[in-house]
C-alpha cells in the first residue's frame, strides 16, 4: 500500500513546528548561559583580594583544620572514615595557601601566626607530598628574591625549626615507587636547593643533619635512573661547593667510593640520555670538589680512582674529558705527590702523552673546548714534573727524548700559538686604553709595547670569579699553577739544554693572566 505524500499545506505546518522547536531550544541555551554568567559574576564578587587580612583568615582556617584533623586521627587511628572529611578539608586549605607564594611580602604573617611551625609539624603527615609542594613554592628562589626581607624571616623560621632534619626524616619514609611520594621527594630536594641558593652558609648544617648521608644512600640505591637521582646529584654538588667541612664529611661517609662506583658505569658506556649525562657531570664535579681536600686524595688513591680515570681516558667515551679534569685535581700541588707516582706506575704516561700531542676530534661534542683540554693536560704534566722523584721522574723525562723530541716540538708549537694570541690581545687592550684616554680627556700614562702589570692584574681580579674551572672551588689559585708550569718546564730545558724553551703555560686558566705570563710580567 503506497503512503500518501503530504500536501503543501501540511508541509508548511511541519516547517512552522520545526522552527518553533528550534527557537525554544535557542531560548533555553540563552537562559542557561545567562545563569552561568550570573553565577560566575557572583563568585568573582565573593572572592576576596589577596591582602594581609585575607592571608590571616586563610592561615587561621588552616590552623583550625590542621588541629581538627590531628585530633580525629588520634581519636580514631584505625578508622580512616572518621577523619576522611577533615583530611579533605585540610587538603583544600593547603591548596588555597599556594597563592601566598605569590606575595612574599606577606611571609612574615606565616611566622607571626605560627603557620611555619604547623607546616613543619605536618611533615609527618601521610599526605606529605601536598605539603612539600607548598613548601617548594614558598621557597622558590625567584619568589624569595622578590622580597629579601620576607624571605629572610621565612628562612630564619625554617632553620630554627630544624627543617632539614625533619625533611630528611620524611625522605626516609617515602616510597618512590608511588608516584605521589616520588613527587614529594622531588619537591623536598627543591626546598633544600632553594634554601641553599638563598643562604649558602646553611649547607654545612644541612649536611650534618643527615642530608649528605641520605643523598649518598639514594645515589647508590639499585633503582633505575630517574629525575630524582639527577636531582640528588645536583644537590650533592651544591653541598660540596666551596665547603671543606662537607668534603671531609663525605670522605668519612665513604662518599669517594660511592662516587667512583657510580661513575664506573660510564667507563665503557656513554650516558643514554642528556639527563643521565648531566648527572654524570654532576658526579664528576662533586669528585673534583672533594679532591681539593688532601685527606680525600688519599681515599681516592686507595679506592683505585686513578685506575678508573686512566681506563676512561683509554676507552674514549664521553666521560674522558671529565676524567682528565679529575686527574688534574688529584695530582696538583704537593698533596698530589703519591697520586703522581702511582699514575706513572699504572702506565698513565702512555695515556696522557697522546692527549698532549693532539686534542681529540670529538671534544666539542661533550661540551669541552680545545683550550680546556690543553689546560688540563699541561697542568697534569706540570704536576708530574714537580712531584716525581727517582725512577718515575726519569721515565717521564725520557718521554721528551722519544721520536726525535717531538714532544718538545709540541711545546714550542703551543707556545707560539698562545704568543700570537697574546699579541692580538695586547693590541686590543692598547686600543681600548687609547679610546678611554681620548674619551676622558686626560693624559694617560706613557704606554710601552706591552700592557702594564697593573692593567693585566686589574682585569684578572675582575674576571677571576667567572672562570669556570675554579668557580666554587678552593685550593691553589690559577696564578699558582702558572708559576708551577714556568718552573717545571724550565726543568725540561735544564735537563736537555733546549735553547729558547724558557717557559710554557697552557691556555684557559684565564686569558688575561695567561697572556701576562707569556710576556714575562708574572
* 51 backbone φψ class: left, alpha, beta (φ>0; ψ -120 to 50): beta
DSSP codes of every residue in 162-209: THHHHHHHHHHH--TTSHHHHHHHHHHHHHHHHHHHH-TTHHHHHIII
pTM: 0.74
The per-residue pLDDT for 460 is: 37
The per-residue pLDDT for 148 is: 81
How far is it, in rounded angstroms, from Cα 364 to Cα 366? 5
Joined grid coordinates for residue 486: 714556568
* 390 backbone φψ class: left, alpha, beta (φ>0; ψ -120 to 50): left
The per-residue pLDDT for 517 is: 40
The per-residue pLDDT for 271 is: 94
The per-residue pLDDT for 472 is: 38
How far is it, in rounded angstroms, from Cα 201 to Cα 197? 9
| Helix/strand number for the chain, H first, E second | 27, 0
Q: Specify the residue for cell string 714550542.
A: 412
Joined grid coordinates for residue 428: 686590543
Joined grid coordinates for residue 26: 535557542
The per-residue pLDDT for 4 is: 47
Rg (CA), the chain: 34
The per-residue pLDDT for 81 is: 83
How far is it, in rounded angstroms, from Cα 81 to Cα 510? 67
pLDDT, mean of each 10-residue run, the chain (522 residues): 46 48 52 52 52 88 87 83 84 86 86 87 69 78 78 89 90 90 91 91 93 97 94 97 95 97 94 95 97 96 97 92 96 95 96 91 71 89 92 92 88 81 86 83 47 42 39 40 48 50 40 39 33
Amino acid at each position: 500500500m503506497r503512503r500518501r505524500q503530504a500536501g503543501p499545506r501540511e508541509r508548511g505546518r511541519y516547517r512552522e513546528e520545526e522552527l518553533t522547536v528550534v527557537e525554544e531550544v535557542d531560548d533555553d541555551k540563552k537562559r542557561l548561559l545567562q545563569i552561568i554568567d550570573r553565577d560566575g559574576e557572583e563568585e568573582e564578587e565573593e572572592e576576596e583580594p589577596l591582602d594581609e587580612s585575607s592571608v590571616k583568615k586563610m592561615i587561621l582556617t588552616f590552623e583550625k583544620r590542621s588541629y581538627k584533623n590531628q585530633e580525629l586521627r588520634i581519636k580514631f587511628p584505625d578508622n580512616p572514615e572518621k577523619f576522611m572529611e577533615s583530611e579533605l578539608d585540610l587538603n583544600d586549605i593547603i591548596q588555597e595557601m599556594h597563592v601566598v607564594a605569590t606575595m612574599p611580602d606577606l611571609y612574615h604573617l606565616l611566622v607571626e601566626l605560627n603557620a611555619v611551625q604547623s607546616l613543619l609539624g605536618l611533615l609527618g603527615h601521610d599526605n606529605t607530598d601536598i605539603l612539600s609542594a607548598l613548601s617548594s613554592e614558598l621557597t622558590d628562589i625567584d619568589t624569595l628574591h622578590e622580597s629579601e626581607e620576607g624571605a629572610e624571616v621565612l628562612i630564619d623560621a625554617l632553620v630554627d625549626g630544624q627543617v632539614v632534619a625533619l625533611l630528611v626524616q620524611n625522605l626516609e619514609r617515602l616510597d618512590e615507587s608511588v608516584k605521589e611520594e616520588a613527587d614529594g621527594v622531588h619537591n623536598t630536594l627543591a626546598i633544600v636547593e632553594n634554601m641553599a641558593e638563598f643562604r649558602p652558609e646553611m649547607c654545612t648544617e644541612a649536611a650534618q643533619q643527615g642530608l649528605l648521608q641520605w643523598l649518598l644512600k639514594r645515589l647508590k640505591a639499585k633503582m633505575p635512573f630517574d629525575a630524582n637521582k639527577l636531582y640528588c646529584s645536583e644537590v650533592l654538588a651544591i653541598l660540596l661547593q666551596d665547603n671543606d667541612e662537607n668534603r671531609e664529611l663525605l670522605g668519612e661517609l665513604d662518599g669517594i667510593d660511592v662516587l667512583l662506583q657510580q661513575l664506573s658505569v660510564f667507563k665503557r658506556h656513554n650516558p643514554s640520555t642528556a639527563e643521565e649525562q648531566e648527572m654524570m657531570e654532576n658526579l664528576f664535579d662533586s669528585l673534583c670538589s672533594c679532591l681539593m681536600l688532601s685527606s680525600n686524595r688519599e681515599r681516592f688513591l686507595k679506592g683505585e680512582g686513578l685506575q678508573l680515570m686512566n681506563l676512561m681516558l683509554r676507552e674514549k667515551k664521553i666521560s674522558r674529558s671529565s676524567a682528565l679534569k679529575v686527574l688534574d685535581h688529584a695530582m696538583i700541588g704537593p698533596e698530589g705527590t703519591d697520586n703522581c707516582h702511582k699514575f706513572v706506575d699504572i702506565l698513565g704516561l702512555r695515556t696522557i702523552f697522546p692527549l698532549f700531542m693532539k686534542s681529540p676530534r670529538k671534544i666539542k661534542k661533550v661540551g669541552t673546548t680545545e683550550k680546556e683540554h690543553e689546560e688540563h693536560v699541561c697542568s697534569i704534566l706540570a704536576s708530574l714534573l714537580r712531584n716525581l722523584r727517582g725512577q718515575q721522574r726519569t721515565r717521564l723525562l725520557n718521554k721528551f727524548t722519544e721520536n726525535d723530541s717531538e714532544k718538545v716540538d709540541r711545546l714550542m708549537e703551543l707556545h707560539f700559538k698562545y704568543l700570537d694570541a697574546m699579541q692580538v690581545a695586547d693590541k686590543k687592550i692598547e686600543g681600548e686604553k687609547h679610546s678611554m684616554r681620548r674619551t676622558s680627556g686626560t693624559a694617560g700614562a706613557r704606554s710601552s709595547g706591552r700592557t702594564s702589570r697593573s692593567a693585566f692584574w686589574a682585569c684578572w681580579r675582575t674576571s677571576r670569579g667567572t672562570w669556570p674551572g675554579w668557580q666554587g672551588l678552593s685550593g691553589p689559585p690559577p696564578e699558582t699553577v702558572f708559576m708551577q708550569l714556568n718552573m717545571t718546564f724550565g726543568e725540561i730545558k735544564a735537563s736537555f739544554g733546549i735553547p729558547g724553551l724558557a717557559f710554557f703555560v697552557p691556555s684557559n686558566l684565564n686569558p688575561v693572566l695567561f697572556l701576562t705570563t707569556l710576556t714575562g710580567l708574572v
